[in-house]
Structure 1
Amino acid sequence: MTKNYQVSGMTCEHCAQSVTEEISQIPGAQGVEVDLASGRVTVTGEDFSDADITAAVEEAGYSVVAPE
């Protein structure tokens, strides 16, 4: 499955790396792609939930505005 999330607060490559690192630790999340310009984070894999992604993004210090 592939899901997109709108994340606020990311402004640089370090931000993108932090979010990618946290999401990558979720069991079932196999790929993470961050588009800094739009704030969109695309997650691919199996058996991950919106709550898992939101918690990982918050752990990195950012907020999920909404799943898309």
Structure 2
Amino acid sequence: MQNVTLHVEGMSCGHCVNSVESALKNIGAKGQVELSTKTVQVQFDEGKLTLEAIKETIEEQGYDVV
């Protein structure tokens, strides 16, 4: 398992947290959003997912991974 921290712009509320965490769960990753730092801690199996796929999933929810 790999752990990464991504800086994500545009998140501001509980809906944002649920949206990102649910989307990550749907692709097989575990995400934990921290609104105060605008970060997402992501744990995933690098044999099944790529970092690029994770970034795309977050961006599909309407947020910017920077």
TM-score higher than 0.5: yes
RMSD value, Cα: 1.0
User: Where does residue 35 of structure 1 map in the other structure?
Assistant: 34
In structure 1, the gaps of 5 or more residues are none
Runs of 4+ in 1 over 3 A off after TM superposition: none
Q: Which protein is richer in strand relative to its size?
A: 1
Gap regions ≥5 residues in structure 2: none
Q: Residue 12 of structure 1 aligns with which residue?
A: 13
Q: What is the one-letter code of the residue matched to 1:33?
A: Q
CA offset digits 1:4-43 (Å, max 9, x no partner): 100000000100110111111123x1x2110001011011
Report sequence identity in percent: 33
Cα distance in 1 for partners of 2:26, 2:41 equals 15
Q: CA deviation at 1:45?
A: 2.3
- The residue type paired with residue 39 of structure 1 is K
TM-score normalised to structure 2 length: 0.86
Q: Alignment length, in residue pairs?
A: 63
